[in-house]
Structure 1
Amino acid sequence: MTVSEVQQLDVEHLLHELTLDEKISLLAGIDFWHTAAIDRLDIPSVRVSDGPNGVRGTKFFDSVPSNCFPCGTGMAATFNKDLLHEAGQLMGKEAKLKGAHCILGPTCNIARGPLGGRAFESYSEDPLLSGHAASQVIQGIQSEKVLACIKHFVCNDQEDRRIAVDTIVTDRALREIYLKPFQIAFRDAQPKSLMTAYNKVNGEHVSQSKKLLQDILRGEWGFDGMTMSDWYGTYSMKEALDAGLNLEMPGGPRFRTPFPLAHKVNSNEIHEDSLDNNVRYVLKFVNEALKVGIPKDVVESPNNSPEASELLRRVGGESIVLLKNDNGILPLSKTASAGNEKIAVIGPNAKVTQDSGGGSASLTARYKVTPFDGIQNKLTEGNNTVSLEYALGAFLDKSLPDVGELLVNENGKKGITGKFYKNPPGSKNREFFESIDLLSTRIFMSDFKSKYIPVEQTLFYADFLGDFTPEETGTYEFGCSTMGTAQIFVNDKLIVDNKTHQVKGDAFFLGMGTREEKASIELEKGVTYKIKVEFGTGPTYTLHTEQAEKGGVYFGLRIVSTPEKEIQKAVDLAKKVDKVILCVGISKEWESEGFDRPDMDIPGYTDQLIEAVVKANPNVVVVNQSGSPVTMPWVEQVPALVQAWYGGNEAGNSIADVLFGDINPSGKLSLTFPRRIEDNPAYLNFGSTNGRVLYGEDVFVGYRYYEKIKRDVLFPFGYGLSYTSFEFGDLNVQANDDTLKVLVKVTNTGKIDGAESVQLYVQHVNPSVIRPVKELKDFEKVFLKAGESKAVHLELSVREATSFWNTYKSKWQSEKGTYNVLVGNSSDNATLKGEFETTKTVHWLGL
């Protein structure tokens, strides 16, 4: 069926037909993922789904597996607009397989500082790169008729007290830095919906701000789509409706409940027109959703296509940034030059797939490739003569790790078996009702459903069963945290009790669970042990909160060791091999929605591990996985360094492709990596202080700050090396009153095919206000064979390239004067210079 054949709702007619209660029901979700349906008038329910780096679907518990994309900062590091469009298209296709009409993403907040819990989920510190990345992903999603919901509008750039914090920001910084990526996305991609931020801006919650939702979003930018709150991010009834927050999510509603809202309308506390206008935008959203063509009886399914895997691998490969390559240690060879060569893969991230950061961006990936697996796969191709060995080196986990991959369920497959009961362990004639096999030992039951118990029933019990066979004899530590009650048994012996005495901790979403309780036991290599976790749902929780509901349990285990012992094992191995690949970084336990990082350091003993291994063997390649910068005190000692982000399903293969030269690295840093957290412009003004945060750096975010005060950084914005070399030349700059045209020739002067990112910066020679040294205004990626040259054409609006926000006039101002065009391949290497003149000062608003 074509779009023209889809039956559309007559919105204005329906506004006359709907009863007051029906209108009210449309203004809030009915559950976590769905809008209300009005069967009487053939108004269907619309399904939304997370998220920014993959489409989860409608389930947290036992969810249908998804394809996980690289994190936002990694996606932006590709500097490849066409590839980001392709990624968006794949997201749109996946949404339809999950029955979702709308994807809750992309996220295009600003990574203001390295410590933001969701910095990984956003794209960049730079508003133009963020805006173009969001725009391309949105265009890709909506090319599949699926709706994109751009988020979080605006200044949701930290997690500390995010629902209460008041962001104090100047109008100029708000416009030039924080609103700018949204403005670009609305100009170029027209997303069909928008999600408001949790926080306040200058004293007012965004979700009830007329200035932001009416004056700017609808008035200046002409947005005609639907606005929705972030989940539980609505704070009022009247104010939010009058400001134009169309949809409260999730449901059931907290503020838009039938009786009080109807009373407000009937008593003229809320104007009927205000109610109708919000309903109008919801109905328009439903009309757009109808064009997706998702059947009512759709069953969620994974996208198992090899084409999806190939694209994820390509995006991951292009996101990887080569930061150091002294003496050409990379790419590694798959064939030993003389005799047999040995490579050691060492590190806490070697045999773990860091596919995404934590929170709503995380999902159940349909498969995961670890760096070790990717490297091993590479070395088993063809007649390779390089052998591989492994050592852990250091622990990274904040809590004991998920051991779903290490256990065997009752059907003999990886994972655990969950057996569900209506009554607790030890009950006479205990009533069993369902058995489910699970792949993870991090179990969140919030949306658990069974046809054998009522949906509203929150009290039930489960035994989670799995066999564990240790690979070495030793002392093993078991542990669990819960939002409910839990006990761990090994061969029917109670080992861990998180039931009879519970202590508050920070487990689960927003820290509503217990601390992790631990205990140790001796296990023998090769012996199979039966692991059982007896779990009671939220109502059994002795620290009960309303949010506990069905609750959950996280449990894990690992061999007991000391940091010194693990480092020594790694050093001993490093001495025996020719080269070492160190897989380090952080994880979703440390970088997640719900909290900010306390510092920029890699937790635990990773730094000591790297320094010890480099002393033992200087031929070291460090692969760092993080969504934002980390401190690197060892950086001068290591010859090769790769930034690999959170790489999605194909992380391990993408890393191996770059390390062994099957992909010539072309990623560029989407964030500046400072030497110390103290160097960051947000250092003195990050996090909530008495409920407020001052954006004291104003417009000088990221490289804008470092360049202005001439502060040395570890690695600059836009930076990234290649296995080949490029030369820029023949710069030609032409401009009239409206358009700036830039032409530059790029030549691959090396011996390997590769890609380079042309970055165009603009500098006002004599501005009337303090401005950054230069600002990124466009970019383009070009692929070149060895020895090949291509002309790269960049064309952009003069007013966009030159304007700043005039706070006196409350308008954009393109100032008469001389501007330099600086072109290069990073913010610190834009040495090709041209100039143009503007003949008049222009003020403007809108898109």
Structure 2
Amino acid sequence: MAGTRTQADEAREAVVEAALARLDLDAKARLLSGQDMWTLPALPGIGLKSLVMSDGPIGVRGVRWTADDPSVALPSPTALAATWDPGLARRAGVLLAQESRRKGVHVLLAPTVNLHRSPLGGRHFEAYSEDPYLTGTIGAGYVTGVQSGGVGTTVKHFVANDAETDRFTVNNTVSERALRELYLAPFETIVENAHPWGIMTAYNTVNGTTMTEHHHLVNEVLRGEWGFDGCNVSDWLAARSTVGAIEGGLDVAMPGPQTVYGPALAQAVRDGEVAEAKVDDAVRNVLRLAARVGILAGAEPVVTELPEAVDGSALAREIARRSFVLVRNQGGALPLRPNGTVALIGAAARDARVLGGGSATVFPARIVSPLDGLTAALPEGTLTYAVGADPNTELSVFDPRFELRAVCRDADGDVIGSDSAPGGQLKWMGPSALPDGVTCARLHTVELTGTFTPRESGSHTFGIQGFGTFRLTVGGTTYFDEVQVPSKDDPFITFFGAPVPRARVELTAGEPVDVSLTHVVEVPEDSPMPSIIFALAHQGPQRDPDELIAEAVEAARSADTAVVVVATTERVESEGFDRTDLTLPGRQDDLVRAVAAANPRTVVVVNSGSPVELPWREDVAAVLLSWFPGQEGGAALADVLTGVHEPGGRLPTTWGSLADAPVTRVVPADGELPYTEDVFIGYRAWEKQGRVPSYPFGHGLGYTDWTYESAEVEGTTVTVRVRNSGERAGREVVQVYLAPAEPDAERPARWLAGFAGVAAGPGETAEAVVELPRRAFETWDEKTNAWTFVKGSYEIQVSHSIADRRLTATVNV
């Protein structure tokens, strides 16, 4: 499947081979092991610079986890997929390449193309869809865009990393057919159509073999069948065995300096456990990546003319508004009436949740909240605001009201360095992240010291995220001076664990108070990821929830329209754990019911990265899904609510209740998680089990109407003619599903085979041309271990969503 090599590719390959020939065994082994958290070592002798990697996928954080180094924050991957626009995904990739170059990053650790197997998946927001075709198509656009800017991608997590529970050790047992037709399919599409320069192998085990050692899936399928010629990097700390990893096709073990490669790999070669040719293969892949991104002397990079500069804020705003999915709009509740009064309600309307938790975190220079966006867009005096209900029932890290510095001291108490600590959060990952002049050997304590300025008067709670010895002082009083221990063995708990409350202090709004959190540093010398990670957390005064809801009801009763923003929190959707339910946190459901009872024109904006239950959905006038909308989310929301732009999104995944969801098991038993549903996930499973979701796959309303006039089929090309029969311009996503004329219990009733977006003004027509790929007619035969083209008659269903079929035709193949 790999693309044909060009003359430039051959020239780069010659430079790679010459460089490889000049390396001794120790240098080669060292190159395959991270030298720190984010980089590979430079080898000046062959003109190789240090390769720098960074987390994505919504932005480029760089090598420092700090708000001092801000990044553009795009909407979440579920939002990007909701646009059903590979071209827009490509533009997002171009921007991220621009951000990568600005930060000195050569490889972006993205995109995530695991599937929405179950709505309980905690990292659901970071993947695109439940459908492998949509996932692969959006992912290919993203990869193409990033690499067009001269920056590499690592498509992740290869493969079946579809949940977070026990992700380091779980053995996911998956049939070969389900692997091929679902979980491998997006990777295959991206390798074939976008030729990614990197793949990241996952933590989990598949059918008894950990993915960093999976010879069959990596060497035989990814490299052999598909022709992938890029670099295979481990997920961080995933590599466990020197011999197993190199034999299994793993090129780079991250992070360093303590990994299974480096000196251990060189010794394995000398002991006869590993052939040096295996090491050469891996080094060749790393050097090829270096050549492609332009850090290997003598090799011309793939991209020599960079794309035109992209306005990051403008693109973030465009993606957000085009991702919003209007799932309900009764009585023309949206767009808002011109000059009408609006009551904006919800804590998330003021303190916006723009991204999911975990390694996808970036720090934008600005965030436009819904309150900010509507305040700017609506006439003065027409907008009121009430909190209503706060979904944050726990302390929050990264509070902008902290003004702190991190002061480093040695064992004698002498200051040896300092750095800023924006928001009270410190993540120094690896020795290179330490402030100038500070080393792990000398560092004894780190003190976060400065002030906190409260927004509200009352009882404020302060706490600690992290583990080890801490001393917490607020206003001159020490409230905690003990050891805080982790609740789990997962080493990532310091990233994602809940803060522990340790002090309650009465404060006055606007009056700063001195705060200090001192941590005794204990970094084991043999730590594979030497890091200093902790945070000073905060929670504001907690008012009576009934009083807050009553205030919101009064505001709603006095307005023409009530707009309620409900949201999840970082304790609900984040890397590191799965969800246990789909309910909104706190009293938000009660809030919506009360507001809807007071104002029939209630619009609910759902600020979550993945499905939540909406038990009141039939009682409100409109429901708009905004996902995690990125830094410009509030401005985009104002664009859509006021009708400046229509909501352009369609559901990339099915929304329904947990009780009805067909696939809900994400917790392994005795280390095993069987994918017993086989090829039936998402809409395939909902249909097989005869269950009706709240909102089906592909659903989404705009501000105009579309009439589907005709569908013509020539071979496997479907040409659809649609007319904008509404009163304003709009965009429609024409979806084409294939349904076998002869039902087969082993195959889904129908599946997405293609789609195309069209735009037209009022009364205008447009044509959507959809090419049906050969793979849409194939299944994986486990007897022959090959793809089988299934001949017969198929109904082509031209649809607005999987549940809203507009035209049909027949094709015989």
Bucket of the pairwise TM-score, normalised by the shorter protein: over 0.9
Alignment of 1:329-728 (within 5 A): 329-336=333-340, 341=341, 343-379=342-378, 384=379, 386-402=381-397, 404-405=399-400, 407=401, 415-423=402-410, 431-447=414-430, 448-454=433-439, 457-471=442-456, 473-494=457-478, 496-497=479-480, 499-500=481-482, 502-505=484-487, 510-512=492-494, 516-526=500-510, 528-539=511-522, 549-674=531-656, 676-683=657-664, 685-728=665-708
Question: Who is 1:216 aligned against?
Answer: 221
The answer to whether the Cα contact below 8 Å between 2:49 and 2:296 also exists between their aligned partners in 1 is: no
Greater displacement, 282-291 / 220-229:
282-291
The amino acid across from 2:293 in the alignment is A
The amino acid across from 1:463 in the alignment is L
Per-residue Cα deviation, 1:440-494 (whole angstroms, up to 9, x for no partner): 22332335422232365442322321241444x4333333333344444443233
Structure 2 CA distance for partners of 1:215 and 1:7, relative to 1, 3 Å: closer
Structure 2 CA distance for partners of 1:182 and 1:637, relative to 1, 3 Å: same
Question: Who is 1:412 aligned against?
Answer: none
The answer to whether the Cα contact below 8 Å between 2:389 and 2:587 also exists between their aligned partners in 1 is: yes
The answer to whether the Cα contact below 8 Å between 1:624 and 1:645 also exists between their aligned partners in 2 is: yes
Structure 2 CA distance for partners of 1:522 and 1:294, relative to 1, 3 Å: farther
The offset of 1:673, in angstroms, is 0.3
Question: Who is 1:204 aligned against?
Answer: 209
The offset of 1:788, in angstroms, is 1.1
1:267 and 2:271 equivalent?
yes
The amino acid across from 1:636 in the alignment is E
The amino acid across from 1:709 in the alignment is Q
The amino acid across from 1:465 in the alignment is G
Aligned equivalents of 2:591, 2:33: Cα separation in 1? 52
2:316 to 304, 312, 319: 312
Structure 2 CA distance for partners of 1:569 and 1:585, relative to 1, 3 Å: same
The offset of 1:540, in angstroms, is 9.6
Question: Who is 2:727 aligned against?
Answer: 751
Greater displacement, 483-492 / 191-200:
483-492
1:289 to 288, 293, 299: 293
The amino acid across from 1:205 in the alignment is T
Counterpart of 1:604 in 2: which secondary structure?
coil
The amino acid across from 1:596 in the alignment is D
The offset of 1:538, in angstroms, is 3.1
Per-residue Cα deviation, 1:578-621 (whole angstroms, up to 9, x for no partner): 32111112023311111111111112211111112212222211
Aligned equivalents of 1:65, 1:727: Cα separation in 2? 45
Aligned equivalents of 1:306, 1:44: Cα separation in 2? 27
The answer to whether the Cα contact below 8 Å between 2:467 and 2:483 also exists between their aligned partners in 1 is: no
Aligned equivalents of 1:43, 1:532: Cα separation in 2? 46
1:814 to 749, 773, 789: 789
Counterpart of 1:250 in 2: which secondary structure?
coil
Structure 2 CA distance for partners of 1:452 and 1:162, relative to 1, 3 Å: same
The amino acid across from 1:678 in the alignment is A
Aligned equivalents of 1:102, 1:32: Cα separation in 2? 14
Aligned equivalents of 1:698, 1:580: Cα separation in 2? 44
Aligned equivalents of 2:535, 2:611: Cα separation in 1? 31
2:760 to 781, 784, 787: 784
Structure 2 CA distance for partners of 1:308 and 1:255, relative to 1, 3 Å: same
Counterpart of 2:710 in 1: which secondary structure?
strand
1:827 and 2:799 equivalent?
no
Structure 2 CA distance for partners of 1:556 and 1:620, relative to 1, 3 Å: same
Structure 2 CA distance for partners of 1:185 and 1:362, relative to 1, 3 Å: same
Structure 2 CA distance for partners of 1:12 and 1:523, relative to 1, 3 Å: closer
Per-residue Cα deviation, 1:345-385 (whole angstroms, up to 9, x for no partner): 11121112211111111111121111111111111xxxx25
Aligned equivalents of 1:292, 1:185: Cα separation in 2? 26
Counterpart of 1:187 in 2: which secondary structure?
helix
2:104 to 86, 99, 105: 99
Alignment of 1:160-199 (within 5 A): 160-199=165-204
Aligned equivalents of 1:209, 1:401: Cα separation in 2? 39
The offset of 1:681, in angstroms, is 2.1
Structure 2 CA distance for partners of 1:443 and 1:570, relative to 1, 3 Å: farther
The answer to whether the Cα contact below 8 Å between 1:36 and 1:44 also exists between their aligned partners in 2 is: yes
2:737 to 729, 741, 761: 761
Question: Who is 2:23 aligned against?
Answer: 18
Counterpart of 1:350 in 2: which secondary structure?
helix
Aligned equivalents of 2:770, 2:748: Cα separation in 1? 22
Aligned equivalents of 2:105, 2:699: Cα separation in 1? 37
Per-residue Cα deviation, 1:795-836 (whole angstroms, up to 9, x for no partner): 233x22211111111111112211111111111112310111
The offset of 1:178, in angstroms, is 0.4
Unaligned stretches of 5+ residues in structure 1: 296-302, 408-414, 839-847
Structure 2 CA distance for partners of 1:76 and 1:461, relative to 1, 3 Å: same
The answer to whether the Cα contact below 8 Å between 1:483 and 1:548 also exists between their aligned partners in 2 is: no
Aligned equivalents of 2:339, 2:543: Cα separation in 1? 35
The amino acid across from 1:682 in the alignment is V
Aligned residues: 795
Q: CA RMSD in A?
A: 2.7
The amino acid across from 1:110 in the alignment is L
Question: Who is 1:844 aligned against?
Answer: none
The amino acid across from 2:176 in the alignment is D
2:710 to 719, 730, 751: 730
Aligned equivalents of 1:198, 1:21: Cα separation in 2? 27
Aligned equivalents of 1:277, 1:491: Cα separation in 2? 60
Structure 2 CA distance for partners of 1:774 and 1:540, relative to 1, 3 Å: closer
Alignment of 1:216-235 (within 5 A): 216-235=221-240
The amino acid across from 1:242 in the alignment is E
Counterpart of 2:596 in 1: which secondary structure?
helix
Aligned equivalents of 1:62, 1:654: Cα separation in 2? 23
The answer to whether the Cα contact below 8 Å between 1:708 and 1:772 also exists between their aligned partners in 2 is: yes
Aligned equivalents of 1:486, 1:189: Cα separation in 2? 49
Structure 2 CA distance for partners of 1:524 and 1:229, relative to 1, 3 Å: closer
Aligned equivalents of 1:754, 1:293: Cα separation in 2? 50
1:82 and 2:81 equivalent?
no
Structure 2 CA distance for partners of 1:197 and 1:7, relative to 1, 3 Å: closer
The alignment-based identity, stated in percent, is 34
1:247 and 2:234 equivalent?
no
Structure 2 CA distance for partners of 1:507 and 1:592, relative to 1, 3 Å: farther
Counterpart of 2:644 in 1: which secondary structure?
coil
Per-residue Cα deviation, 1:305-361 (whole angstroms, up to 9, x for no partner): 88211111000110000011110011013413xxxx3x2211121112211111111
Question: Who is 2:303 aligned against?
Answer: none
Structure 2 CA distance for partners of 1:280 and 1:553, relative to 1, 3 Å: same
Aligned equivalents of 1:695, 1:809: Cα separation in 2? 22
Counterpart of 1:181 in 2: which secondary structure?
helix
Aligned equivalents of 2:18, 2:509: Cα separation in 1? 72
Unaligned stretches of 5+ residues in structure 2: 1-6, 300-306
The answer to whether the Cα contact below 8 Å between 1:482 and 1:507 also exists between their aligned partners in 2 is: no
The offset of 1:43, in angstroms, is 2.1
The offset of 1:8, in angstroms, is 7.6
